[in-house]
Structure 1
Amino acid sequence: MPEAVGKPLRGLYAVTPEGLPLNTLLAQVEAALQGGTVLVQYRDKSRDPARRAATARALLSLCRGFGARLLINDDLALALAVHADGVHLGAADGELPAARQALGAGALLGASCYDDFERARVAVSAGADYVAFGAVHPSATKPLARPAPLSLFTRCRSELRVPACAIGGITVDRARPLLAAGADLLAVISDLFEAPDVTARAAAYQLLFEEDHREFLQRATF
């Protein structure tokens, strides 16, 4: 597993939509990367391992060209096989300590923590590089997900001191409160990949992160 690109874990986190032809998926992800996406998560629940491996390798090559990182959703074996930059695991997708050991120190390990701060605390102790809370808004992808309050992001920044990722129903118009609360990553599917111009939508998110950083620096000087 190669060492992850040494950029801060902050910015737009593009989660790939399912069911797209490979060429369409690659074109959409490339457009998102052109707009400033920093992380891509390959999410594919199908049972075609050869196709999934080929797609993951193609996405990894694309991400490398933009200095971005590719994580695999819920499949440690695939992440290891294609030498991805890391893996993101849900509650039922494997033990975090074992994943941390298998990945090595240079790769990224993300953990879904839903609305549970104590789960996040345990995940960080097990070696997670970032924790994800959500759904922060109702989501068509996971309509039964429990709502995650903004206070989780504030607590994560002050108590756990690892990046926090927000996921679930995020749009550009809903993003500012998440950043203000302490979210470092915004994981987006529909609002990004269903946008008329994927590159422009990704750039709009990137602008929000830049504005939030400027506001943070201004506050720090007073």
Structure 2
Amino acid sequence: MLSRGLYAITDSTLLADGRLLPYCRAALRGGAQLLQYRDKSDDHDKRLREALQLRELCETFGARLIINDDLELALACQAHGLHLGQSDGSLAEARARLAPTAVLGATCHAELTLAAQAERAGASYLAFGRFFPSQTKPGAAAAPLSILHDAGQASRLPKVAIGGVSLDNATQLINAGADYLAVVNSLFALTTAQAVERQAQAFCALLAGAQPTD
């Protein structure tokens, strides 16, 4: 994985009515390095079709497609990686079945114990949050910014910050130790693909201008 970047996460409601591909293309054109496909529907054929289309898009832009919470879909579409929440399957099993070079992400909330367990199971990055009020998961427990610094002291794996991430608070997260900013609404709730691209560029500029943390 790269050392720092924008991590765009899809939302099936925000990207309904034909917006999925043009908005994701815009985010990738704007510089997103990781794109997570998150769709909780039961329509397997639709999810596979969209995942295959997104993988092709990611390869066009030199980015990586990460599938949310579905190992079988990740394998079926030959995605570049998989992200698992705490109740979404075994990291160790996923690591064993995925390609050796595949990215494997783990939700760690605000717990270093979960992060340590994920690293032992073969995770490629550790996701912490939510840090700010989130429209995607409004009931999720809040995480302190200090968890990013503490995780950086405990592990060399990249740290992903998620939950209410915006241009207004991105610098706080980067300064606290976030390597990747995972963004949903601040990208995909915008009204045009052009706005998505400009927003992605703005996030990437903040990330590029930040100094690496110790």
- TM-score, length of structure 1 as denominator length: 0.91
2:5 aligned to 11, 26, 41, which one?
11
Aligned pairs (5 A) from 1:184-199: 184-196=179-191, 197-199=195-197
> Hey, what's the Cα distance between the residues in 2 that align with 1:30 and 1:111?
25
Tell me whether 70-79 or 99-108 shows the greater mean CA deviation. 99-108
Counterpart of 2:34, as a letter, is L
Report the equivalent of 1:206: 204
1:44 aligned to 39, 52, 57, which one?
39
Query: CA 1:130–1:22 in 2, change beyond 3 Å: closer, same or farther?
Result: farther
Q: Is the 8 A contact 1:137 1:169 kept in 2?
A: yes
Structure 1 residue 140, shift from structure 2 partner: 1.3
Stretches of structure 1 that go unaligned for 5 or more consecutive residues are 1-6
Structure 1 residue 106, shift from structure 2 partner: 0.8
Counterpart of 1:187, as a letter, is A
Aligned residues: 210
Q: Percent identity?
A: 47
Report the equivalent of 2:127: 132
Q: Is the 8 A contact 1:12 1:202 kept in 2?
A: yes
Stretches of structure 2 that go unaligned for 5 or more consecutive residues are none
> Hey, what's the Cα distance between the residues in 2 that align with 1:17 and 1:170?
15
Structure 1 residue 22, shift from structure 2 partner: 6.6
Three-state SS of the structure 2 residue aligned to 1:23 is: coil
Structure 1 residue 9, shift from structure 2 partner: 4.5
Report the equivalent of 1:114: 109
Over 4 Å off, 4+ runs: none
Q: Is the 8 A contact 1:71 1:86 kept in 2?
A: yes
Structure 1 residue 10, shift from structure 2 partner: 1.7
